Amino acid sequence: MRYGHFDDQNREYIISQPDTPLPWINYLGCESYFGLISNTAGGYSFYRDARLRRLSRYRYNNAPFDVGGRYLYLRDNETEKFWSPSWQPTRTKLDKYECRHGMGYTIIGSTANKIEAQTTYFVPLGETLEIWKCKITNHRKKPAKLSLFSSIEFCLWDAQDDSTNFQRNFSTGQVEIVDGVIYHKTEYRERRNHFAYFACSEKLAGYDTQRDTFLGAYRSWDNPAAVERGKSFNSVACGWAPHGSHHVKVNLKPGQTKEIIFVLGYHENAGDKKFSPPDSQTINKTTVKPVITKYLDGKNVVAAFQKLKENWDNLLGTYQVTSPDIHANRMVNIWNAYQCMATFNMSRSASFYESGIGRGLGFRDSNQDLLGFVHMVPSRARERILDLSATQLKSGGAFHQYQPLTKRGNHELGSNFNDDPHWLILGVGAYIKETGDWGILDEQVQFENEPGSEQPLYEHLRRSFNYTLERLGPHGLPLIGRADWNDCLNLNCFSDTPGQSFQTTTNKEGKVAESVFIAGLFVLASKELATIAVKRGLPDEAKYYLAEAAKMEKVIYKHGWDGEWFIRAYNDFGQPIGSKVCKEGKIFIESQGMCIMAGIGLDDGKAKLTLDSVNKHLATKHGIVLQQPAFTKYYIEMGEISSYPPGYKENAGIFCHNNPWIIIAETMVGNGNRAFDYYTRINPSAREKIGDLHRCEPYVYAQMIAGKDAPTFGEAKNSWLTGTAAWNYFTITQWILGIRTGFDGLIVDPVIPAKWKGFTVTRKFRGNTYVIEVKNPNGQQRGVKKLVVDGREIAGNVLPACAPQAEPIRVVAVLEG
């Protein structure tokens, strides 16, 4: 069953019924002010950091779903009936309903009682505020006398504290109400210099700022007392739960439409200009007032919305494809790229599945996120790389996470995830390939954010490399530490205490357990680093990197090869994991994908053999599972991976993040048919038709689809914030369609289904626009035989980067045959 449909022309997904299986969300804002918004207006907003600067409250894991949002209520003052035009929270039956999730905006429209309401929610570029523009139309034959109420519940900034520290928080809340604007200023009197505001374009009939007055005791958002009686209480919050609600009277003639604008925003004042007059406790509104005035004016709202659209035209214009597959086109051209922006901004912090409290930006995650983002805003990718590397430890290791607000490493979680450092090499490589900006390597970057410890970024990459060499285990493979890419393969944890963190508890010294995955990653990263070293005029150093990579490759063959696939790891007893000798977990996906991506097994047939094993043991109709057979009980020597019931998450779930590694590996052996088949199995758009099973949004990837061992095989979970976004984008654009960034130019190397007759990609790259037409007249899967650039045939398959030209560069590539 479908709950809506794609509108590719307008780059929207249109949801046509409000009770989707799960809240289907979208993100507002892509710079510093962000919001989550569901298809029924649920969600919340924050400035930069979802934990530390939360503007509005949300109730995770609530029943019913999705409580806390940007709510509006319409009330017919004659019949006294009221309803929510976004369906939630009153859940009154609507005669028409439609939610359009677009690029950075959501429009929720509905009709009830012949009154149509359509609200557009978005964050203007360059601002720290959001707009709710509500258009109300009277479709009745008689005049309508209506009331419109707004409602937002303020969060007391630190979302963690806000949901736990009630003995204090019930006494700190403060607001100001001036000229119809509600200012939320809890803690502004002491150490904060920021506040929130909620404004309305209309003259108010009343307001409420104390939640429990607005709602009434023992009531909820589905029948607030103020709405029910049709009149605000003009409550002024002091302590308890500050809230923002405006009451506006809307009288409409038959056919008449009225537009009402609400602005919810975040504002900071300079420390010495907090109050006006200076010796008072009143917020100084000098700098915020002009902003509010600007966006309560409909003309400015229209202009800001237009700018947002243009910005997305521009961002998405970097890579556009027309292929025979509608699902690939849609994901590449619109939704997958869009999701990459969300993962770049949010990392794994704030979604319907991530509370925004627990996790900062992951070191490995953010580096991988760059793969799908760098082409859109290279300057922000650059900044991210420098921020990440400044948290790198002197040892070359990395803080596993850092907090976006402070840009400091997270000490609670610490380090010792031994794959982390190598992702920096790959992230930097991806950035240079996109931009040709070799200068980034000379940037002076601190270690551990310590002034005086600055070294060129290139030195950071060296230390990433050395980190592994200095931490080899008994077989000469890299020690795993707390975990490698698989956060749940905790081989030094040995936890038997309920509630202990599998990631941070290490009860073993960690001198035995090794990772074949890190070994593969090391080979891949070392080859990348060697290429970079050559370009820096350090050929000897490059040779050294390659020699170490070759040594590691030998070790992988000797101790990491199981006969038909790569072993996954060695545990603390020196026994193999992911080997035919194991009873459960005989074969894992990660080492297969990573070793082949590193080029191992390409020359001797082992890569193909491995991929056939993956196909035989791991591939299912819903995607490739992480390992088989699933763990049926808890193994203390394995850690969290065996804590999940079979088929979920890392225990044999379809962990969509690493399916693309296998897909890339398939392209590397030239198997375009299988690569695209695997790609399609997890493509959310292709899964739209099984919406009842899939349940998550059909426009973005989810982290996991339940594996074949689970009773819910095929059900997706944890949508939006996952490395799946960047890896799938990278895979389809660079490896299947094969328009790949290289250090010297754009590589044209498609590996496609034999039945495709061709496709066209428009790619903006280093100041030029390339229009690349790939022709496949003889049903090949790979192999560019002929490359014609602006009418001239060139040798090889690289389009060398060149000075910007006025006209697009036209390229025709013909596959062999």
Considering the complex, state which of residue 235 and residue 731 has its C-beta at the smaller distance from ligand GLC. Answer: 731
User: How far is it between the farthest Cα atoms of the chain?
Assistant: 85
d(CA 651, CA 643): 8
d(CA 35, CA 37): 6
DSSP structure class, residue 564: S
Min separation Cβ 703 and ligand GLC, Å: 6
Cα 72 to chain center, whole Å?
Answer: 28
Concatenating the DSSP letter of every residue in 182-237 gives EEE-TTTTTT--EEEEEEESS--SEEEEEHHHHH-TT--TTS-HHHHHTS---B--
Residue 286 CB neighbour total at 10 angstroms? 10
Min separation Cβ 359 and ligand GLC, Å: 7
Tokens, residue 727? 């890896």
Residue 170 CB neighbour total at 10 angstroms? 12
Residue-wise burial string across 77-105, b where 16 or more C-beta atoms lie within 10 A, e elsewhere:
beeeebbbbbbbbbebebeebbbbbbbbb
Min separation Cβ 702 and ligand GLC, Å: 11
Tokens, residue 155? 């969060």
Which residue number places its CB atom closest to ligand GLC?
487
Considering the complex, state which of residue 589 and residue 739 has its C-beta at the smaller distance from ligand GLC. Answer: 589
Min separation Cβ 650 and ligand GLC, Å: 5
Min separation Cβ 610 and ligand GLC, Å: 21
Considering the complex, state which of residue 79 and residue 497 has its C-beta at the smaller distance from ligand GLC. Answer: 497
Task: State which amino acid sits at residue 584.
Answer: E
d(CA 133, CA 335): 24
* Locus of tokens 């799938």: 728
Residues that bind ligand GLC (CB under 6 A): 348, 362, 364-365, 485-488, 503, 640, 649-650, 657, 703, 722-723
Phi-psi region of 414 (alpha: psi -120 to 50; beta: other; left: phi over 0): left
Min separation Cβ 803 and ligand GLC, Å: 40
- Kindly give, in sequence order, each residue whose CB lies less than 8 Å from that of residue 628, ignoring residues fewer than 6 positions away: 585, 586, 587, 617, 618, 652
d(CA 9, CA 6): 9
Q: Going by DSSP bridges, is the β-strand pair 206-210/619-620 parallel, antiparallel, or unpaired?
A: unpaired
Considering the complex, state which of residue 471 and residue 649 has its C-beta at the smaller distance from ligand GLC. Answer: 649
Residue 419 is a catalytic residue: no
d(CA 751, CA 739): 10
Task: State which amino acid sits at residue 394.
Answer: K
Q: Which of 158, 487, 572, 749 is catalytic?
A: 487
SS3 478: strand
Q: Which residues are catalytic?
A: 487
